[in-house]
C-alpha cells in the first residue's frame, strides 16, 4: 500500500513539474501523507505499549502466590483487555484508511484535471513549421520587435508578407517572437 502511495506521489511530481500551482498542492498532499504515516506510527507504538501492559498483567497474575481474584476472573479481564486492544486497533486502522482514501481520491481528481488541462493545451497549440522557403525578397529592412507585436502586425506595419517574414527568419513558431528580437523584413519599408 505504501509503495502505491509513493508511486502516486511520484506520478504527481512529474505532472506538477509542468504546472506551478499544482506544486503547492503536491507539497500539501505530501505533508498530509507524511502526517498520516506519523499517525500510523504513533498508533502502532500505542498498540505495542498496550500489548506490553497486557503481557505484564499476565505475568503478574501467574507469578502471584496469593490471589484475590480467581484465575477465571483474571482470564476474563485479559480477554476484555485483548478485545479492547483489537477494537481500538481496528478503529484506528479504519479511520486512517478512510482518510488516506479521501486524500487519494482528491489527488486523483487533481491529477486528472492537470492531465486534461495539458491535453487541451496540446490540442490548441499551433502547428510548428519545420521547413522554410527561400522564395522571398533578399533585400529589406531590420525590425526590432516591440511589446505587443505579432508577425501579422509587423507585416502590416512594414508592408511585407507575413509568410516572407516567417521564412526569412526561420520562425518555427511565429507566436513566440520576443520583445527586442531583431527580424529581417524582406521587401519591407
- pTM here is 0.36
What pLDDT score does 185 carry?
A: 93
Strands 140-144 and 182-186, sheet pairing: antiparallel
The C-alpha cell that represents 164 in the structure block: 516572407
Same domain, 99 and 176: no
Same domain, 100 and 145: no
Same domain, 16 and 73: yes
pLDDT in tens, 126-144: 666 678 888 888 899 999 9
Q: Which residues contact 181 (CB under 8 A, 6 or more apart)?
A: 144, 145
Same domain, 24 and 96: yes
What pLDDT score does 136 carry?
A: 86
Chunked mean pLDDT (size 10), the chain, 189 residues:
54 55 86 90 91 90 69 91 94 93 94 89 68 86 94 94 92 90 88
What pLDDT score does 11 carry?
A: 55
Q: What single DSSP character describes residue 175?
A: G
Cβ proximity of 171 and 129 under 8 Å: yes
159 located within any domain: yes
Same domain, 35 and 62: yes
36 located within any domain: yes
The domain tally of the chain equals 2
What pLDDT score does 1 carry?
A: 53
What domain range includes position 151?
A: 140-186
Report CA torsion sign: 132, 136, 140, 145.
Answer: negative
Same domain, 77 and 152: no
Cβ proximity of 166 and 174 under 8 Å: yes
Q: What is the mean pLDDT of the chain?
A: 85
Same domain, 11 and 103: yes
Same domain, 72 and 118: yes
Same domain, 146 and 119: no
Same domain, 84 and 161: no
CATH of the domain at 159: 3.10.350.10
129 located within any domain: no
Amino acid at each position: 500500500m505504501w509503495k502505491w502511495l509513493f508511486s502516486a506521489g511520484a506520478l504527481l511530481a512529474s505532472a506538477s513539474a509542468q504546472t506551478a500551482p499544482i506544486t503547492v498542492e503536491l507539497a500539501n498532499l505530501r505533508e498530509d501523507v507524511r502526517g498520516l504515516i506519523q499517525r500510523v506510527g504513533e498508533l502502532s507504538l500505542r498498540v505495542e505499549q498496550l500489548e506490553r501492559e497486557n503481557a505484564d498483567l499476565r505475568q503478574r497474575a501467574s507469578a502471584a502466590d496469593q490471589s484475590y481474584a480467581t484465575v477465571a476472573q483474571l482470564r476474563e479481564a485479559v480477554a476484555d483487555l485483548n478485545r479492547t486492544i483489537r477494537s481500538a486497533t481496528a478503529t484506528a486502522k479504519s479511520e486512517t484508511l478512510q482518510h488516506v482514501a479521501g486524500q487519494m481520491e482528491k489527488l486523483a481528481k487533481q491529477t486528472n484535471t492537470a492531465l486534461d488541462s495539458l491535453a487541451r493545451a496540446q490540442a490548441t497549440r499551433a502547428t510548428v513549421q519545420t521547413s522554410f522557403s527561400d522564395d522571398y525578397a533578399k533585400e529589406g529592412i531590420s525590425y526590432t520587435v516591440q511589446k505587443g507585436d505579432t508577425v501579422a502586425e509587423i507585416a502590416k506595419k512594414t508592408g511585407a508578407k507575413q509568410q516572407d517574414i516567417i521564412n526569412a527568419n526561420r520562425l518555427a513558431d511565429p507566436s513566440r517572437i520576443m520583445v527586442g528580437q531583431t527580424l529581417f523584413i524582406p521587401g519591407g519599408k
